[in-house]
Amino acid sequence: MASYFKDFLLNIFIIFSPLFLYSYMYKLAANERSYRLWVCILFTLTLILTMSFPVHVNGFTYDFRSIPLTVGSLYGGPAVSLFLYGSLILYRFLMGNPENLLYALSILPSFAFVWFWQRRYFGMKLSQKIGVAVGLNFVIKVIAFLLYLWLTHQQGLLLDNLLVTLQTYLLQALIVGLCVYLVEFLHSHYHMQEEMVKNEKAKIVSEMAASVAHEIRNPLTTVRGFLQLFGSDDIDSAKKQFYQKICLEELDRAQAIITDYLSLAKPDPEMIEKIEINAEITYLSNVLLTYGNFNNIEIRQDFLPDDSLAIVGDRYKFRQALINIGKNAIEALQHGGLLEIRASSSNGQIQIVIRDTGIGMSAEQIKRLGTPYYSTKDRGTGLGTMVSFGILRKMNGKIEIDSELGIGTEYRLTFPLAE
In the prediction, which pLDDT does 303 show?
A: 92
In the prediction, which pLDDT does 356 show?
A: 93
SS (H, E, C) 300-325: EEECCCCCCCEEEEEHHHHHHHHHHH
**Per-residue confidence band for 339, with pLDDT thresholds at 50, 70 and 90:** very high
Distance separating the N- and C-terminal Cα atoms of the chain: 81
Contact at 8 Å (CB) between 411 and 355?
Answer: yes
| Candidate ranges 140-149, 189-198, 299-308, 376-385; pick with highest mean pLDDT | 299-308
pTM of the shown model: 0.55
Query: For residues 307 and 309, what is the distance between their CA atoms, to the nearest angstrom?
Result: 6
Residues in contact with 121: Cβ distance below 8 Å, sequence separation at least 6, in sequence order: 74, 129, 132
Segment among 55-59, 229-233, 277-281, 396-400 with least mean pLDDT: 55-59
| C-alpha to C-alpha distances, 349 to 44, 279, 326, 398, nearest whole angstrom | 69, 17, 21, 11
Query: For residues 325 and 314, what is the distance between their CA atoms, to the nearest angstrom?
Result: 17
Which pLDDT tens digit goes with each residue over 13-22? 888 888 888 7
Which is nearest to 39 in space by CA: 48, 30, 26? 26
| pLDDT over 90, % of the chain | 27
Look up residue 322 and give its amino acid.
L
Query: For residues 326 and 11, what is the distance between their CA atoms, to the nearest angstrom?
Result: 68
Query: For residues 327 and 288, what is the distance between their CA atoms, to the nearest angstrom?
Result: 7
Contact at 8 Å (CB) between 219 and 253?
Answer: yes
Contact at 8 Å (CB) between 380 and 214?
Answer: yes
DSSP-derived 3-state class of residue 161: coil
Indicate if the pLDDT at residue 398 is higher than 90.
yes
